[in-house]
Amino acid sequence: MIQWRWALVLLLWGCSSDWAALEARGYSRDYARGYDEGCPVADPEAVPTRGTPDYRLGWEDGARACEAEQTHERRERQGP
């Protein structure tokens, strides 16, 4: 059971972003915050209605990135 919890922690940590790193790459603060908050949800269909357009775009991008990462990891665990 402990291994499962660590895997979940590492998965969420691996897909979360660093606001400063995104901002340093030229993304707005709203986009960076949205990306950071959308990533752990990993459901791009659940885009929030609140926030600026940049926030919502970042949220959707973060959710898609983590959804793809989770799908990839599931396929690796299942094997060929």
- Radius of gyration over every alpha carbon of the chain, rounded to an integer in angstroms: 14
pLDDT at 8 over 80: no
Q: Give the mean model confidence (pLDDT) for residues 6-32.
A: 68
The tokens describing 13, both together, are: 């940590």
d(Cα 76, Cα 24) in Å, to the nearest integer? Answer: 32
Would you place residue 80 in the very low, low, confident or very high pLDDT band (cuts 50, 70, 90)? low
d(Cα 54, Cα 61) in Å, to the nearest integer? Answer: 10
Q: Give the mean model confidence (pLDDT) for residues 70-74.
A: 79
Would you place residue 43 in the very low, low, confident or very high pLDDT band (cuts 50, 70, 90)? confident
Q: Give the mean model confidence (pLDDT) for residues 12-33.
A: 77
Asked whether the beta carbons of 42 and 66 are under 8 A apart, the reply is yes
